[in-house]
Amino acid sequence: MYGINGQGCLLRFICELQKYPIKDFTIAGEILTSLFTPRSDRNGALSAYREAEMLGQLDEEDICWDHYGVQCPLSVFSFFDDGQNYTASIQ
């Protein structure tokens, strides 16, 4: 009843990891991306997570917010200087 939607936030995080590829810049980013990138499965149990991954790979600016913003208003990337341009800020 209170708090945030854990699954929604995880889906948003997966989507944003694909949108803003921090794996290319730090070992911590590579570890996070490896841990939170869903693997393929045979029975479709991870379909929502795979969908979040694929959405993040699309060339649409606000797609992660559009799909998961209502479920999870928080973005991990908002804790950085400019969450929308995180990768530009660490280059």
Distance CA(22)–CA(80), nearest Å, equals 12
pLDDT at 33 over 90: no
Percent of the chain clearing pLDDT 90 (strictly above): 36
pLDDT at 64 over 90: yes
Place of tokens 């009843």: 1
Packing angle, helices 47-57 and 6-19, rounded to 10? 40
pLDDT at 67 over 60: yes
Band (pLDDT 50/70/90 cuts) for residue 51 is very high
Sorted by where each begins, the domain ranges of the chain are 6-89
Distance CA(73)–CA(50), nearest Å, equals 21
Distance CA(60)–CA(25), nearest Å, equals 22
**21: left (phi > 0), else alpha (psi -120 to 50), else beta?**
beta
Residue 30 in 3-state DSSP?
helix
Q: What is the mean pLDDT of residues 33-57?
A: 87
